[in-house]
Amino acid sequence: MRILVVEDDAALASYIRKGLESEHYAVDVALDGEQGGLMAANLDYDLLVLDLNLPKLDGISLLRNLRPNKPQVPVLVLTARPRVEDRIQALDSGADDCINKPFSYSELSARVRALMRRGRPTVESVLHVGDLQLDRVERKVHRNGRRIELTGKEFALLEYLMRNTGRRITRAMIIEHVWNISFDTTTNVVDVYINYLRKKVDEGSCCRLIHTVRGVGYELSERQNEVA
């Protein structure tokens, strides 16, 4: 899942980014409103964390510019303004939730998860596909009761596939959402990681979950055969 953090306080932005990255989100940071607005409008994010007091373009104007073209993307506003009116203005301008500074990282993380759930009703803290279970909070994966040990990248990749169960996912989508790079790689890094995941997730199980979709990419689903 790809998140954009628009925050001009570099230390705070870095703190948020590190926390979210430790939860295996792909995170971009913009340090002013103009750059943040440009990135939010042109790139595909699953969530925005937006400060209101920003140089060049304030958070409210950024939200107002963004909403006509990106009505779906959840926006969590960070505000140091204590007045209720400011929070109301942010929500009325298109924010989905507000959090007051200073805040604890655990609260921010929980609000991010809540917004992700709200945006996509199928997304829960624990994802299930057949006998495969991924717990986002505990960072654990089990298949048919067997614990599967994954590296950080493998976990992020599996989570992305599970969040998009039954959908055909291209390599470009994977590289963008899991590696946070918006162009194709010169190596087969996605295929290599998919193979590693397959060995860990599918080997020894009666049915395969990770399927190759020829000419497209991959699909995680309970269907039996390779997808043509």
Partner 1 sequence: MDVSPAKLESHQVLGECLQLTDELIQTMAVIREMVSVDETAALVACDGDVLLHSCVEEMVPVARERGVLIRLDAKTGAIECNEAMFRRATFVLLDGMLAVLPRGGEVCLRLEEQDDCVSMKVRPGMCDGLRQKLCWKLMHAAGGSVTNCAEGGVVVLFRKASARQPLQDSLMDKRVLTSS
Return d(Cα 25, Cα 194) in angstroms, integer. 18
The answer to the question of residue 139 lying near partner 1 (CB under 8 A) is no
Q: Is 71 exposed, middle or buried (0-12, 13-18, 19+ CB in 10 A)?
A: exposed
Nearest approach in angstroms of CB 151 to partner 1 is: 8
DSSP state of 224: S
Of 1, 3, 4, 29, the one binding partner 1 by CB under 8 A: 29
- Retrieve residue 3's tokens: 């998140």
Compose the 98-127 pattern: x for residues touching partner 1 by CB under 8 A, - for all others. Answer: ------------------------------
Nearest approach in angstroms of CB 10 to partner 1 is: 3
Parallel, antiparallel, or unpaired: how do β-strands 75-79 and 47-51 relate?
parallel
Region binding partner 1 by CB under 8 A among candidate stretches 18-26, 46-54, 96-104, 108-116: 18-26
Picking from 156, 158, 155, 130, the residue whose alpha carbon sits closest to that of residue 144 is 130
The answer to the question of residue 170 lying near partner 1 (CB under 8 A) is no
Parallel, antiparallel, or unpaired: how do β-strands 2-6 and 47-51 relate?
parallel
Q: Which residues 6+ apart lie within 8 Å of 215 measured at CB? A: none
Of 137, 144, 188, 226, the one binding partner 1 by CB under 8 A: 188
Instruction: Output 30 or 95, the one with its CB closest to partner 1.
Output: 30
- Retrieve residue 85's tokens: 């009116």
The answer to the question of residue 22 lying near partner 1 (CB under 8 A) is yes
C-alpha 155, offset from chain centre: 13
Region binding partner 1 by CB under 8 A among candidate stretches 19-27, 63-71, 121-129, 209-217: 19-27
Return d(Cα 28, Cα 65) in angstroms, integer. 19
Compose the 30-69 pattern: x for residues touching partner 1 by CB under 8 A, - for all others. Answer: xx---x--xx--xx--------------------------
Compose the 193-222 pattern: x for residues touching partner 1 by CB under 8 A, - for all others. Answer: x-xx--------------------------
Within 89-167, strands assigned E span: 97-100, 126-129, 132-135, 140-143, 146-148
User: Residue length, the chain?
Assistant: 228
User: How many residues in the shown chain lie near partner 1 by CB under 8 A?
Assistant: 37
Nearest approach in angstroms of CB 77 to partner 1 is: 22
Amino acid at the residue 227: V
**Which residues of the shown chain bind partner 1 in the complex (CB under 8 A)?**
10-11, 13-15, 17-19, 21-22, 27-31, 35, 38-39, 42-43, 151, 153, 179-189, 192-193, 195-196
